[in-house]
Homo-oligomer: A and B are copies of this chain.
Amino acid sequence: MSAQQQRRSRRTRQNRTENKQGKTLSQLPRQQLINPVAPTELLSADEIESIHRSSLKLLRDTGINFLLPEARQYLKQAGAFIEPGSERVRFDPELVESLIGLSPAEISIHARNPENNIIIGGNHLVFDSVSSAPNCSDIIGGRRAGNIEDFRKFIKLAQYFNIIGCIGGYPVEPQDWHPSIRHLEATRDFIFLTDKPLRGYATERNRLLDALEMIRIGRGIDETQFARETSVMTVVNINSPLAVDTVMAEGIIEMAKRNQLTIITPFTLAGAMAPITLAGAIVQQNAEALAGYMLSQTVRPGAPVMYGAFTSNVDMKSGSPAFGTPEYMKSAIVGGQLARRYGLPYRSSNTCAANAVDAQAAYESVFSLWGAISGGCNLLKHGAGWLEGGLCASFEKFVLDVDMLQMVAEYLKPVKINQNEVALDTIDEVGPGGHFFGTQHTQERYKTAFYAPLISDWRNFESWQEAGAPEAAQKAHSVYQQALSEYEAPPIDAAIRDEINDFVARRTAEGGVKTDF
């Protein structure tokens, strides 16, 4: 039985179970989301051009530090100006302009299960899962340092929920694997536990190359096909202000060489690593994003790059980053305008700074979603599970976010206007003072007419109180537990499994990658 047949058989089995017991979680089907709503434009075309010109000026007069000599070499060859012995790279506006437009506006990302391939760009919209949190929590077990067991649970949730289109990265840092081999173990888990598109980490050149190689093996394809079919994403955070460190530059270079997707995301916190004014922070973000983009295009013109925005503000009293704020919303929307200015797909995030899955977590997240979706976001990173400004991956937040993402997906489904939907006959049949519960029009549609939420409690107060007055976080706890219990590992060909295991064994025997600790 082929992997695909196995999958089909499993799915049939699953449907049977659902039909008989009716107890499995009800979720939206796997789908390629399209955002049909015209993006919000907070700035005029002139103002966007003004930001572009200011960014060119910044790149020409101030420049960007590239710490990796190899990166400076690429840029110098392309015509950038570098003083001898300096890390500072300055760009002539004409050079910048000549590199804009090379990278594709729309990119397919291939998963090891082709049914899970995604399209990034255009009006496509993909949500991923929380990544890179040092801690994780649930309301029963409390907050704890990242570990393998929780790492796996989050991957399973990301695989289980159809609304999650790809794996954002390590949902939580699996700290009990030694850093020298952590990337090998974590990537093996990715490949075995999920068949959605994956991320490699640009934390060091050899780590990234190992991850790329493993994901290629996982897909069962050769290097030529791998270079033709983008299969890995990485995030490169520019070291704001105005610096690209060694591992980030290595990431951009290796990804570009292999035609894999780099998501360039300056982390421009207004008031800390960027000017306190939104205009200033956005200009800096834009110049930094262009700098990363240009390195990529000088390595291989046309390498896929995504424009990432993460401009937010800090709490000026404590210096803590704030998320899901009005300032965050505005920069998420303007970020989208800039990405489209450069013909690049756009990455935004589902963020919050809350320490608990409370009202704050929810409103900061939905404000983030409002900014991201209105801004024409193509890939929403940290789509599900982010808490504490990214310092914690929360299991309850994960399913709360899944529910909210599903609501966004339903919101984006066009309203159908036709005779059957308008149903004048039914309105006439019911007439003044009647109700629609019993009509044929209702009976034919009531099971699927509306989005059925995972979390929202719509009982009246009395019934809710009798049931113990559960708040959303408690409901989310039981939903995540149920999802884990329903999770099934995706099938994998035995030969591929063996090859992955052999690769990890060999690289582990070699000592993995060198670490300082």
Partner-B contacts on A (CB < 8 A): 37-38, 40-43, 47, 50-51, 54, 57-58, 61-62, 64-65, 87-88, 135, 143, 239, 241-243, 270-280, 282-284, 313-316, 318-322, 325-327, 329-330, 334, 353-367, 370, 374, 388, 391-392, 400, 404, 407-411, 413-418, 420-424, 426-428, 430-437, 439, 441-442, 445-447, 449-451, 453, 455-461, 464-465, 469, 471-473, 476
Instruction: Report Cα–Cα, A275/B421, bound state, in Å.
Output: 8
* Contacting residues, chain B, for A464 (C-beta < 8 A): 355
Given A426-B280, A427-B58: A42 in contact with B415 (beta carbons within 8 A): yes
Instruction: Report Cα–Cα, A365/B407, bound state, in Å.
Output: 13
Closest to A420 in B: B277
Partner pick for A445 among B62, B276, B445, CB 8 A cutoff:
B276
* Contacting residues, chain B, for A410 (C-beta < 8 A): 326-327
Most buried by B among A272, A439, A450: A450
* Contacting residues, chain B, for A432 (C-beta < 8 A): 64-65, 87-88, 239, 241-243
Copies of this chain in the oligomer: 2
Q: In the bound complex, do residue A283 and residue B471 qualify as a contact, i.e. CB atoms below 8 Å apart? A: no
Q: In the bound complex, do residue B360 and residue A366 qualify as a contact, i.e. CB atoms below 8 Å apart? A: no
Instruction: Report Cα–Cα, A184/B364, bound state, in Å.
Output: 41
Partner pick for A359 among B424, B431, B473, CB 8 A cutoff:
B473
Instruction: Report Cα–Cα, A409/B327, bound state, in Å.
Output: 11
Q: In the bound complex, do residue B272 and residue A437 qualify as a contact, i.e. CB atoms below 8 Å apart? A: yes
Closest to A278 in B: B415
Min CB distance, A55 to chain B, in Å? 9
Closest to A63 in B: B432
Given A277-B423, A355-B459: A417 in contact with B62 (beta carbons within 8 A): no
Q: In the bound complex, do residue A271 and residue B320 qualify as a contact, i.e. CB atoms below 8 Å apart? A: no
* Contacting residues, chain B, for A439 (C-beta < 8 A): 275
Closest to A327 in B: B450
Q: In the bound complex, do residue B322 and residue A458 qualify as a contact, i.e. CB atoms below 8 Å apart? A: yes
Min CB distance, A434 to chain B, in Å? 6
* Contacting residues, chain B, for A436 (C-beta < 8 A): 241, 271-276
Given A47-B417, A421-B278: A320 in contact with B407 (beta carbons within 8 A): no
* Contacting residues, chain B, for A449 (C-beta < 8 A): 270-271, 276-277, 313, 316
* Contacting residues, chain B, for A316 (C-beta < 8 A): 446-447, 449-450
Instruction: Report Cα–Cα, A434/B240, bound state, in Å.
Output: 8
Closest to A279 in B: B421
Most buried by B among A51, A277, A435: A277
Most buried by B among A135, A358, A364, A461: A358
* Contacting residues, chain B, for A459 (C-beta < 8 A): 318, 320, 355
* Contacting residues, chain B, for A450 (C-beta < 8 A): 270-271, 313-316, 322, 325, 327
Q: In the bound complex, do residue B457 and residue A354 qualify as a contact, i.e. CB atoms below 8 Å apart? A: yes
Min CB distance, A273 to chain B, in Å? 6
Instruction: Report Cα–Cα, A257/B274, bound state, in Å.
Output: 58
Closest to A366 in B: B366
Partner pick for A423 among B275, B360, B435, CB 8 A cutoff:
B275
Chosen A-B contacts, 23 in total, with CB atoms closer than 8 Å, are A62-B427, A65-B432, A239-B433, A241-B431, A243-B432, A271-B437, A275-B423, A275-B427, A277-B421, A277-B441, A278-B421, A279-B415, A282-B415, A283-B427, A316-B447, A322-B450, A327-B450, A355-B459, A360-B456, A360-B472, A362-B363, A362-B366, A363-B363
